[in-house]
Chain A
Amino acid sequence: MSLISNITAATLAKDIRLEWRSKDAINSMLFFGLLVVVVFSFAFDPIAEESRRIAGGLVWVAFLFAAVVALNQTWAREVRNQVLDAYRVSPAPANSLFLAKALGNFLFVIVMEVLMTPLFIVFYKLRALGPAWMLAPIAVLGTWALVVNGTFFAAMSLRTRAREIMLPLLLFPISLPAILAMVRATTAILTADEPAKFWIVLLIAYDVVFTTACLLLFETVLQAE
């Protein structure tokens, strides 16, 4: 267990260091997110009440698409110079690598969300009628749902020719229950029309099921040729 956490920590630190130097994922996510916010704000000119109804969907669609941009780059560094082979020949457990990658992606996407959220609030004049603090756990659970599957499917599509297309094709359908839960929970908080509890519980269940499944299957994906 200690070996797993050591390797996970070392891999996560390495990924953060590489991202800090290149800023590939963060820059592309921010640029994409910014585009979506601006384009949507021109496309719709909602009143405050309409904003509250549609913002949940808009925010999560923007975050989802922006996250896919970063997820596609997750394994790119490992493929360059075939560094992944160095990991595969080592005795390091596959799960350590997966956890580090998922945690790294989670961190990068959360940073993007933190930077983009004020823009959404300003552009869409958002003010939550329900308990606004509950948006934080929804963001955490929803982001984890996206990155855990995204990291897994990005690894799966690593050896395919059209991996940029393959990732959304695999990720979006399987993420539908999570996306639905995120959007409905966010809208519930913004409008205070219904309790968000059911959707949050659904998100927790989704995260537990898919994190477990990904951890169980990742060894097979990593060792596949």
Chain B
Amino acid sequence: MTDSKSSHHPNTPIVVVTDLVKQFGRFAALRGVTGAFEAGRLYAVLGDNGAGKTTLLRAVAGLTHPTRGSISILGSVALRSVSSQIGYMAHPSLLYDEMSGMENLRYFSHLYGIANEERCRQVIRLVGLDPELARPVGQYSQGMRQRMSLARALLHDPKILLLDEPFSNVDVSSGREMVKLLAQMRDAGKTIFVVTHQSALLESAADEFVWMQAGQIVRRTPKLEGALLAFADWKPETESRKPDLP
């Protein structure tokens, strides 16, 4: 599962984004995003609503096709070929409300060719839920649903985790637990991207804060405080403030 056949070298960036542009009609959600991201690091992707964080994450996950530019993951630009190394958690749960957590994971494990009951139980326990819970996911609290969604993303033990708002509607202590878990996984060598508005939760855990505005990465800093100051100083060019591309 974890052992990829990819020839990725630990010192080379695991995700490389080059001049990424994504347009929805005349609206440009991404306006030339470029960046290299190293393995075994936790990146907190921050920015206001509409900054392009989710679009960037979806593009890296292969769910959104870029209008221009390229994405290379584990040295491959064919994202389908490395999809088994990507774990994606979106803002919606990506789970069937009518099935229990275990039933959901059992189904998704088939998609990754795992079909291992014990692995499903293990990841449910890992996120602090009970695998024996027979209740359908639709009856879970929002926080439980988020954690089950994280369990689904972790199910196939991917090298890269893309998490979109994993802490939304999660209480503070559960949020801290999730951050602790993410830090452990980062220490185990996973590369984690977390899109969040709750940057304070990741203050001590994240290795780098990536700030986005108007579809661009405007700053990358190792500390949250520095990132906030740098972001406050940032003055966008008149042209780059326009959401539309010619």
Contact = CB atoms under 8 A, between A and B. Distances in A.
Interface of A: 3, 6-7, 10-11, 14, 17-18, 21-22, 77, 80-83, 85-92, 223, 225
Contact of A18 (B64, B88, B95, B98): B98
Contact of B113 (A6, A14, A86): A6
B112 A91 contact: yes
B142 to A, nearest CB: 12
B88 A89 contact: yes
A88 B96 contact: no
9 tightest Cβ-Cβ pairs between the two chains A and B = A10-B110, A90-B111, A92-B111, A86-B94, A82-B92, A89-B88, A91-B83, A81-B92, A91-B84
Contact of B95 (A3, A11, A83, A223): A83
B99 A90 contact: no
A89 B63 contact: yes
Interface string B35-70: 000000000000000000000000001111100000
B163 to A, nearest CB: 13
B166 to A, nearest CB: 15
Given A89-B62, A91-B112, A22 B98 contact: yes
Interface in B83-120: 83-84, 86, 88, 90, 92-99, 103, 107-108, 110-113, 115
Q: A-side binding surface: helix, strand, loop or mixed?
A: helix
Contacts of B99: 14, 17-18
Contact of A3 (B61, B108, B113): B113
A41 B191 CA distance: 66
Q: B-side binding surface: helix, strand, loop or mixed?
A: loop
Contacts of A82: 90, 92, 94
Contacts of B96: 14, 18, 77, 81, 83
A77 B112 CA distance: 20
A83 B94 contact: yes
Contacts of B61: 89
B241 interface: no
27 contacts: A6-B110, A7-B110, A11-B110, A14-B107, A17-B99, A17-B103, A18-B99, A80-B97, A81-B92, A81-B93, A81-B96, A81-B97, A82-B94, A83-B95, A83-B96, A86-B95, A86-B111, A87-B111, A88-B63, A89-B62, A89-B83, A90-B83, A91-B111, A91-B113, A92-B111, A92-B112, A225-B64
